[in-house]
Amino acid sequence: MERDCLRKPLQHRGCGPARQWRPARVAHALAPAALLAGVALLAPPPAVADPADGAAVPRGVWMMQNGKAAVEFFACGASLCGRLVWGRPDQYPDGVAKDRRNPDPALRDRDLCGLTVIWGLERDGADDWTGGRVYDPSSGETYGARVHVQGPQRLRVRGYVGIPWFGRSQTWQPAPPDLPRCTPTAGDAG
């Protein structure tokens, strides 16, 4: 009996009539998806979209993946930069957030608060910023930098040596709105 069922092209395994494809059934099944797609097109763009040309621009304050610091992105000329606006207090044993590991001894007494740690990022497509530099105050090293906007809640920030293949990426998320921002000492932000 099973063999007879398999030989009949319009019947399925149970040997009952097969469900036939009908355009009306498909249209009815796809109607909710079409409605959701239409609503998505009418929804406002994510908070990181630049209204001038549709390119994604990181705006506001972003928390580093390790939770030790927060960076605020801002326009600096035609490029994009970022400055430290918060640091977790337990990473400064003496209670003073100074640029102690800077390779230039003259800069070791400057405050980290307000320090520009990302600079020179240029737009490279709709969601990418490349060609910049990032300074790591915990090591005193400067690396190449690139930022990829993954949506309104995620940035992928990559620091590298030479070419982007030789580096490390972090995923940053927006900082909490109640994050207390540091106050730079006059003349120390840089």
**For position 184, what pLDDT does the model report?**
75
Asked if residue 31 has pLDDT above 70, the reply is no
Model confidence, pTM: 0.68
| C-beta separation of 157 from 145 below 8 A | yes
Looking at the predicted structure, is the pLDDT value of residue 51 above 80? no
C-alpha distances in Å from residue 132, one per residue of 7, 22, 82, 143, 153: 66, 55, 11, 9, 22
Asked if pLDDT for residue 141 goes beyond 90, the answer is yes
Structure tokens at 87: 């640091």
Answer yes or no: is pLDDT of 75 > 80.
yes
Q: Is the pLDDT of residue 32 over 90?
A: no
